[in-house]
Structure 1
Amino acid sequence: MIYDNFSNYSAWHNRSVLLSHLLKEKAKGYCPKDNVFTEEYEFVRHALFTDPDDQSGWFYHLWLLDQTVKLETLLVSSWPPHGSNLSLSVDGSFGDCSLSPFTSLQTNTRILPLVLYFSEPVENVCSSTVVIECENIASNELVWRSLSGDGTGSAQAWLTYLNFPEEHAHSEKAYQVKVSLARSQGIFSSTGVHHGDFSHIEFSVSVPPYRSEHVDLKNEGKISWSDESFCTHDAQFLESVLVNLFHLERTKIDETVVDYQWNITTINNEISHCRELLSTMNCKIGKLTLARLLMAHDTLMSYAGTSHRNVSPHAEILQLYDDLKNMDPAHLHYYQDEYSLVLLKQIIYNQELLLKHCREYRDPYFPRINNFCLRFNNLSLSSIGSMEQLLWVQVLDLSYNQLMTLEGLEVMQLLSCLNVSYNKLCSFTALEPLKLLRSLKVLDISYNEIGAHSIDTRRYLCSSPLNHRSGGDWKTEESEIHCAEVADYWEAYAIFKGLNLIQLDLKGNAVSNEKIKSLLIKLLPSLKWLDGESCQ
């Protein structure tokens, strides 16, 4: 049917389904897979060059691209990183402002979050598939949870907590931690691909001696996000921190060497053919495919461990999406989202560019936060990505962007201060990822669009606490909050009830009024500052 009519979506789709089945069964003539896909690329190329504006062949080409970059599930990053030496500050104070975010962690407990980040969403991460060796910690008693808000049990990032016992000694104690993911069928992706490599992470944690006195963080002043509160770090200090970051990023976690040569060669070949086509005509789907091919090549090179930062394709990809925004305004939001993801990756994976976004917070009235701040403000970001490289961030400024959701931030388990003011958040439901952040103390959501839209189709993704199916999460007899108060703002209740905020800014939103402020003060007993005013 395809030979008779290239513009046959059903025939192309049927070809992909049939080919998938034949490859899975290793049918005669369909092995090895590399040879089959090489022939398929050549076949679909004839259709693309015959009629580049016909999208049916491009969709099949996209399916081939997906199969080319579909690899074994890899563990790509973690917190703490492999090879790191971490020091806990259990009194909540950093003291020395020169401390690196890779060597120090603010906490008023002896509980350390451990995050594993995979190359794609996986399932069945548990005490039987992940073994942790550490003094006084029982690996089989640890509970792992997926850092995903969809409730499917599948996520790229997984979290557990290491609880170090209270030592009554007068000296600091160092713990050696080893995390092992054995080669097994236990951890698998949502597409059925198993984590096939033996992986391990080793790091050390220094815990200070036990102190009986309680540190009350509520006695601190309020944080200001004004430009005057930030300054550029000492150049030598910044360079040492980022050298550490890029060294840890390149540290090999997966032990088995995988040969990506065919994949990389194939993608390179397709990039060349796509450029050839675009040299003869201005084809929007051709530009989109080239952008996807360049990103796929970049991903494969990173998995292969090949140093390619000096020949980064990100600038070209950004230009392609800029062109597409002008050529195809009907899909402007999609192109802007993709542009944002590429822009963040360009910054995060380039040491020189990342340096420009690192700042020091130097307010003398609030010393109990990590002074190392990452400022991604004023970048017109509409989506967030490359979170696997930001697990270490504790202070983040995303103000003056175009964010409509905070999806992705749930993996940043160290995040204590977040500024997302002057964005396009239109409901409290958009804040749902923050429910998973135990360390969050300071949140600025001012001057968004919360409450400005009478109809919010996302609000029903957040279960009402008044619904019997919510599992009895809210009990009137145990709360000072009346049903009537919650009924009007149950989304806010669902988001904020589990947080331990000290400072919250809500002003500038349509929903901001005395009624909801009263509710928030009751919901957040640790809250000291609300919209810049003391509430205690």
Structure 2
Amino acid sequence: MHGRPRKAPKPEEAAASAVKAANLRSLQAQFLHNHHNKTYTKEALDVSAKLLEINPEVYTAWNYRRLAVEHNLSQSESDPDSVKSILSEELRVVESALRQNFKSYGAWHHRKWVLTKGHSSIDQELRLLDKFQKADSRNFHAWNYRRFIAALMNKSDEEELKYTTDMINSNFSNYSAWHNRSILLSHLLGKRVQGFFPKEKVLTEEYELVHQALFTDPDDQSGWFYHIWLLDQTIKSDAPFLISSWPAHGFDLIVSVDKSPDGRASSPFTSFHSDTGTFPLILYFSQAVEGVNSSTITVESMLNSTNDLIWRPLSTNNSGTAQAWATNLNFPNVKLHSLETYPVKVSLGHSQGITSSSGFHYSHPSQFAFTVCVRPPNSEHGERQGVENILWRDENFHIYGTHFQESIPVVSFDQLSIKEDPEPTASNWHVQTIANEIALFRELLSEIDCKIGKLTLARLLMAHDTMMLYNSPNAYKVVHSEEVLELYRGLMKLDPSHSRYYKDEHSLVLFLQVTSSRESLLKHCCHYRDSTSTNIGGHICLRLNNLSLSRIGSVEQLLWVQMLDLSHNELQSIEGLEAMQLLSCLNLSNNKLSSCTALEPLRRLKSLKVLDISYNEIGAHSIDTTRYLCSSPLSHTFGGDWSFDDIVIDDVKVRNYWEAFVIFSGLNLTQLEVVGNAITDEKFKSFLVKVMPTLKWLDSEELH
């Protein structure tokens, strides 16, 4: 275990093991007989005690003893001495079991259960803990139990914090002590206990403490994990705030029920086509929140009444919390050739109700406004316009250059984000602290080659850029991204066993680099025009293909995107796309998507019409690690009235393709590419055609 080779046992050791195994089998047989017959005599309990003293991991034996205790207590309720004797015996059995294995989950859990009965003294528990923590000061079972005992004894967080300080000073290589310290400080900072406010003063002292551990032995990782927690406390605001929306503040939104009839490319930022007569309003928060509804969000417009709006979380976990929330506003009922604009003002934070998963309220009132102009439908254009086949060929994409500028309204990039004036994202202390940490770790890495030091430096550099970008989106340019990308490339080579994590982080940095400014974003924007198409309208496509991306990030800056090319990357998940409610055309071809359930975020994209998932790995893996996360019968989130055995489409039972049915049956696709996946055969394609009656093109063939 843990890389240590096993040694062949000596003959006498093998003989002793055989005797022990025979004894264990005999005890187990007796114990199971007693358990089956609900025998709770002293002799029966002695058998289970002997079994647990040899092997504390027999969970059934602990469950049996709980049943026995409950039974015997019910017979002795009128005798306090008898009750105390029964529970004291349980504590003795647990202590004996812990001497055999002081990391036994079952033993520690049973001891907690006994103490919750309330008839046992807890005075000696801390002494017992000291004994076990001297044997292994990092034993997280003992630390968890200590928190339980401290709560029973009403010990203050300050006292327990001092204990962690003593343990760290004794030996800083103690993951559990650092972890317990983070829990205690979270409580103290959250309650603003005297001596633990302001937060900046406390965190500064904690940085000084952890530096002693990091610079004494950089190869010991226990302190590094605490440093990660400190970094998180430094860069994150407790209360959630709004960081992006669509439409954005100051937008002059143009909506239409048909596509651009005049041959000009529409602005990728300010126009939207919909055949449903509605357009989405999207709010993107700094962290996952709940409580977004018509009571906490006020929308003032002639388009809808606030009370008519139904807000939905854009998340795949069905938890009711999400970073992104959306509702739909109706198009104004306009007459032909009408060019009237309609103002919309959105306000939030004026009443409590929006809260983060950690319980903090959205507490800074804010608002943004935009206008809506509806382009009247062109009846002639509508008659001649058919459903065109989108061809994702390089020759059909033209760099979004200066020759398009006259027909595209210029939008200031800072309009894509909402800046909170009441409380700046990054105060001077936060920025200076991160800058100091960067300088320290640059110095450390100049002297030693430390893997986790490089990882920490990468995190610090990105934290600095992110804070500055959100604080001054129009003035600050991301300056550390190339250095961070190089650090992650080096870590992939240095530590190949964790290369997937480094690659994911590398991808997030690339996304931030691309979306950090208008100039960098426009380099990836292309005008789509198929020379063979009869459709004189155009599309603006954000092309992030061939970038070796393995994870999607910076979605808050991409809410405006309607056509997205993520082909020829290394994506195994598309988590995050669910927030991009305007997406109508999406290319995910030549990635590493291994199952239909990996496409779960697409179920939230009601505007999606064109999808290319060709040449992935769907159906190539016998084990699907995402199927229990997807809304499905297996996760009990798809509805209990579904019986897939009863649904047959063209002699194919839906149960054979239930993952595909769950994903695709709710989509309104007109074009789908699935060629090149292991699952794709004629039967599967026929199934897809039946499941999606709106489909007009399948694998570049027009359906009739």
- Please state which band the TM-score falls in when normalised by the shorter chain: over 0.9
Q: 1:161 to 1:333 in 2, by over 3 A?
A: same
State the distance in 2 between where 1:256 and 1:275 align: 31
More divergent stretch after superposition (369-378 vs 111-120): 369-378
- Letter matched to residue 502 of structure 1: T
Does the alignment pair 1:204 with 2:361? no
Give the CA deviation at 1:251: 5.7
Q: Secondary structure of 1:2's match?
A: helix
- 1:359 is aligned to 526
More divergent stretch after superposition (463-472 vs 439-448): 463-472
Q: Runs of 5+ in structure 2 lacking a partner?
A: 1-166
Equivalent residue for 1:73, pick from 227, 240, 261: 240
- Letter matched to residue 444 of structure 1: D
Contact 1:143 1:160 in 2 (8 A): yes
Does the alignment pair 1:518 with 2:666? no
Q: Runs of 5+ in structure 1 lacking a partner?
A: none
- Letter matched to residue 531 of structure 1: D
- Letter matched to residue 315 of structure 2: S
Q: 1:379-430 CA distances to partner (integer Å, 9 max, x unpaired)?
A: 0000010011111111111110000111111111111111110000000011
Give the CA deviation at 1:357: 1.4
State the distance in 1 between where 2:408 and 2:467 align: 26
Q: Secondary structure of 2:582's match?
A: coil
Contact 1:199 1:253 in 2 (8 A): yes
Does the alignment pair 1:404 with 2:572? yes
Contact 1:131 1:181 in 2 (8 A): yes
Q: How does 1:338-349 map to 2 (within 5 A)?
A: 338-349=505-516
Give the CA deviation at 1:17: 1.6
- 2:438 is aligned to 271
- Letter matched to residue 514 of structure 1: E
Q: 1:243 to 1:49 in 2, by over 3 A?
A: farther
- 1:527 is aligned to 695
Q: How does 1:23-42 map to 2 (within 5 A)?
A: 23-42=189-208
Does the alignment pair 1:103 with 2:270? yes
Equivalent residue for 2:456, pick from 267, 289, 292: 289
Q: How does 1:80-479 map to 2 (within 5 A)?
A: 80-168=247-335, 171-209=338-376, 215=382, 219-237=386-404, 244-249=411-416, 252=419, 254-257=421-424, 260-305=427-472, 309-310=476-477, 312-364=479-531, 365=533, 367=535, 370-464=538-632, 470-471=638-639
Q: Secondary structure of 1:492's match?
A: helix
Give the CA deviation at 1:307: 5.4
Give the CA deviation at 1:107: 1.4
Give the CA deviation at 1:136: 4.3
State the distance in 2 between where 1:302 and 1:290 align: 18
Give the CA deviation at 1:369: 6.3
Q: 1:163 to 1:472 in 2, by over 3 A?
A: farther
Contact 1:309 1:350 in 2 (8 A): no
State the distance in 2 between where 1:242 and 1:344 align: 24
Give the CA deviation at 1:358: 1.4
Equivalent residue for 1:63, pick from 218, 226, 229: 229
Contact 1:476 1:483 in 2 (8 A): no
Give the CA deviation at 1:308: 5.8
Q: 1:217 to 1:334 in 2, by over 3 A?
A: farther
Q: 1:216-265 CA distances to partner (integer Å, 9 max, x unpaired)?
A: 89822311101111122332535996951514136645555566111111
State the distance in 1 between where 2:637 and 2:354 align: 30
State the distance in 2 between where 1:240 and 1:302 align: 29
Contact 1:452 1:511 in 2 (8 A): yes
More divergent stretch after superposition (18-27 vs 339-348): 18-27
State the distance in 2 between where 1:77 and 1:111 align: 20
Contact 2:343 2:371 in 1 (8 A): yes
More divergent stretch after superposition (71-80 vs 362-371): 362-371
More divergent stretch after superposition (181-190 vs 459-468): 459-468
State the distance in 2 between where 1:366 and 1:186 align: 51
Give the CA deviation at 1:367: 3.2
Q: Secondary structure of 1:470's match?
A: coil
State the distance in 2 between where 1:181 and 1:366 align: 45
- 1:3 is aligned to 169
Q: 1:468 to 1:460 in 2, by over 3 A?
A: closer
Give the CA deviation at 1:347: 1.4
- Letter matched to residue 326 of structure 1: K
- 2:4 is aligned to none
- 1:51 is aligned to 217
- What fraction of aligned residue pairs are identical, expressed as a percent? 57
More divergent stretch after superposition (362-371 vs 287-296): 362-371
Contact 2:312 2:326 in 1 (8 A): yes
Contact 2:264 2:537 in 1 (8 A): no
Q: 1:418-457 CA distances to partner (integer Å, 9 max, x unpaired)?
A: 1110000000011110111111111110000000011112
More divergent stretch after superposition (407-416 vs 237-246): 237-246
State the distance in 2 between where 1:369 and 1:136 align: 27
State the distance in 1 between where 2:298 and 2:316 align: 25
- 1:490 is aligned to 658
More divergent stretch after superposition (187-196 vs 267-276): 187-196
Alignment RMSD, CA only?
2.6
More divergent stretch after superposition (487-496 vs 469-478): 469-478
- Letter matched to residue 457 of structure 2: L
Does the alignment pair 1:20 with 2:186? yes
More divergent stretch after superposition (271-280 vs 218-227): 218-227
Q: 1:100-150 CA distances to partner (integer Å, 9 max, x unpaired)?
A: 122321112320100000111111111000000001411012100000000
- Letter matched to residue 315 of structure 1: E
* Larger RCO, structures 1/2 (Cα 8 Å, 6+ apart): 1
Q: 1:459-484 CA distances to partner (integer Å, 9 max, x unpaired)?
A: 23335469986326758899873684
Q: 1:98 to 1:31 in 2, by over 3 A?
A: same
- Letter matched to residue 230 of structure 2: L
Q: 1:85-112 CA distances to partner (integer Å, 9 max, x unpaired)?
A: 0111212345332321223211123201
Q: Secondary structure of 1:3's match?
A: helix
Q: 1:160-218 CA distances to partner (integer Å, 9 max, x unpaired)?
A: 00013434565233211000003443111112222121111101111244789995898
- Letter matched to residue 308 of structure 2: E
Q: 1:474 to 1:205 in 2, by over 3 A?
A: farther
Q: Secondary structure of 1:453's match?
A: coil
State the distance in 1 between where 2:424 and 2:485 align: 32
Q: 1:470 to 1:284 in 2, by over 3 A?
A: same
The two structures have a TM-score, normalised by structure 2, of: 0.72
Aligned residue-pair number: 536
Give the CA deviation at 1:26: 2.5
State the distance in 2 between where 1:81 and 1:357 align: 21
State the distance in 1 between where 2:408 and 2:358 align: 37
- Letter matched to residue 618 of structure 2: I
Q: 1:511 to 1:324 in 2, by over 3 A?
A: same
Contact 1:370 1:395 in 2 (8 A): no
State the distance in 1 between where 2:284 and 2:601 align: 16
State the distance in 2 between where 1:11 and 1:497 align: 51
Contact 1:429 1:495 in 2 (8 A): yes
Give the CA deviation at 1:352: 3.4
Give the CA deviation at 1:285: 0.4
Q: 1:360 to 1:266 in 2, by over 3 A?
A: same
State the distance in 2 between where 1:339 and 1:308 align: 24
- Letter matched to residue 181 of structure 1: L
